[in-house]
Amino acid sequence: MGNDDHRRRKTPCGFCMAVFKWIPVLFITAVIAWSYYAYVVELCIRNSQNGIAMIFMLLFYHLFLTLFMWSYWRTIMTSVGRIPDQWRIPDEEVSRLFRADSPETQKRILNNFARDLPVTNRTMNGSVRFCEKCKIIKPDRAHHCSVCSCCVLKMDHHCPWVNNCVNFYNYKYFVLFLGYALVYCLYVAFTSLHDFVEFWKGQLNASGMGRFHILFLFFIAIMFAISLVSLFGYHIYLVLVNRTTLESFRAPIFRVGGPDKNGYNLGRYANFCEVFGDDWQYWFLPVFSSRGDGYSYPTSSDQSRVSTTSPVQRYDAMGDTATSRLDGNPTDKLIGASPLDTTNHHHNQSPHQVRSTSVQPTQLLQVQPSSPYQDELNGRQEQLANGSTAAARSSPAECVVNGAAVYIDMTIGDHPLKGADPAKGSPRPANGDLPV
**pLDDT tens digits for 330-353?**
333 333 333 334 344 434 443 334
Q: Are residues 89 and 226 in the same domain?
A: no
Residue 374 φ/ψ region, left for φ over 0, alpha for ψ in the -120 to 50 degree band, beta for the rest: alpha
> What length is written for the chain?
436
Residue 343: per-residue pLDDT: 41
pLDDT band at 381 (very low <50, low <70, confident <90, very high): low
Q: 208, 233, 259 — which closes off a domain?
A: 259
48 & 167 share domain = yes
Confidence check: pLDDT of 424 > 70:
no
Assign 3-state DSSP to the chain and report helix, strand, coil percentages, each to 5: 50, 10, 45
Q: Say yes or no: 140 and 32 in one domain.
A: no
Find the range with the poorest average confidence among 70-74, 210-214, 285-289: 210-214
Same domain, 177 and 42: yes
pLDDT of 268 strictly over 90: yes
pTM: 0.69
Give the range with max mean pLDDT: 224-238, 326-340, 404-418.
Answer: 224-238
pLDDT of 196 reads 85
Of 259, 288, 305, which closes a domain? 259
Q: Looking at the structure, tell me whether residues 130 and 246 fall in a common domain.
A: no
159 is catalytic: yes
Same domain, 124 and 206: no
Query: Would you say the C-alpha torsion 164, 165, 171, 177 has a positive or negative sign?
Result: positive
Indicate whether 329 belongs to any domain. Answer: no
Establish if 238 belongs to a structural domain: yes
Instruction: Please list the residues that pair with 404 across neighbouring strands.
Output: 401
Residue 182 and residue 141 in one domain: no
Q: Is the pLDDT of residue 363 over 90?
A: no
Q: How many domains would you assign to the chain?
A: 2
pLDDT given at position 306: 57
> Is position 236 within any domain?
yes
Q: Half-sphere exposure of 336 toward its Cβ, with a 13 Å CA cutoff? A: 2
pLDDT grade for 272, boundaries at 50, 70 and 90: very high
Between CA 54 and CA 63, with CA 58 as vertex, the angle to 5 degrees is 155
Residue at 304 is within a domain: no
pLDDT at 407 over 50: no
Query: For 354-363, which contacts have Cβ atoms below 8 Å and span 24 or more sequence positions?
Result: 354/401, 354/406, 354/408, 355/401, 356/401, 356/402, 356/404, 359/401, 359/402, 359/403, 359/404, 360/403, 360/404, 361/402, 361/403, 361/404, 363/404
- Please state, in angstroms and rounded to a whole number, the distance separating the CA atoms of residues 287 and 277: 10
Does a structural domain hold residue 371? no
Name the H helices within 242-250.
Answer: 245-249
| Amino acid, res. 358 | S
The answer as to whether 190 is a domain residue is yes
Instruction: Name the percent of the chain lying above pLDDT 90.
Output: 48
- If one compares 116 and 424, the residue with the highest pLDDT of the two is 116
pLDDT tens-digit series, residues 138-164: 999 999 999 998 999 999 999 999 999
Name the catalytic one among 44, 150, 159, 165.
Answer: 159
| Least confident segment among 255-269, 278-292, 395-409 | 395-409
- Domain check: are 47 and 170 in the same one? yes
Least confident of 1-15, 40-54, 251-265: 1-15
Q: Are residues 91 and 228 in the same domain?
A: no
Residue 68 domain-assigned (yes or no) = yes
Q: What is the pLDDT of residues 96-125, one digit of tens each?
A: 889 888 888 889 999 889 988 999 999 998
Q: Decide the pairing of beta strands 253-254 and 258-259.
A: antiparallel
Cα 52–Cα 55–Cα 57 angle in degrees, nearest 5:
110
CA distances from 163 to 5, 25, 26, 110, 231 (A): 21, 7, 10, 33, 17
Between these two residues, 257 and 298, which has the higher pLDDT value?
Answer: 298
Of 327 and 204, which is predicted with more confidence? 204
Task: State the residue range of the domain holding 108.
Answer: 85-161
Q: Do 75 and 174 belong together in one domain?
A: yes
pLDDT at 419 over 60: no
The arithmetic mean of pLDDT across residues 221-236, rounded, is 96
Whether 88 shows a pLDDT value over 80: the answer reads yes
Selected residue with higher pLDDT from 34 and 396? 34
Q: Are 110 and 100 within 8 A, CB to CB?
A: no
CB 414 within 8 A of CB 433: yes
Ordered DSSP codes for 277-335: -S-GGGTTSSS---SS-SS----HHHHHT---S-HHHHHHHT--GGGTT--S-GGG-PP
Whether 357 is covered by a domain: the verdict is: no
Burial class (CB in 10 A: 0-12, 13-18, 19+), 71: buried
pLDDT exceeds cutoff 50 at 425: no
Highest mean pLDDT among 178-192, 204-218, 402-416: 178-192
- What is the spatial distance between Cα 199 and Cα 90, in angstroms, rounded to a whole number? 69
The answer to whether residues 198 and 157 belong to one domain is: no
Domain end position, chosen among 259, 289, 320: 259
Report the chain's terminal Cα–Cα distance, integer Å. 78
The pLDDT mean for the chain works out to 77
Asked if 230 and 198 sit in the same domain, the reply is yes
Winning range, highest mean pLDDT, from 2-11, 63-72, 197-206: 63-72
**Which is more confident, 134 or 305?**
134
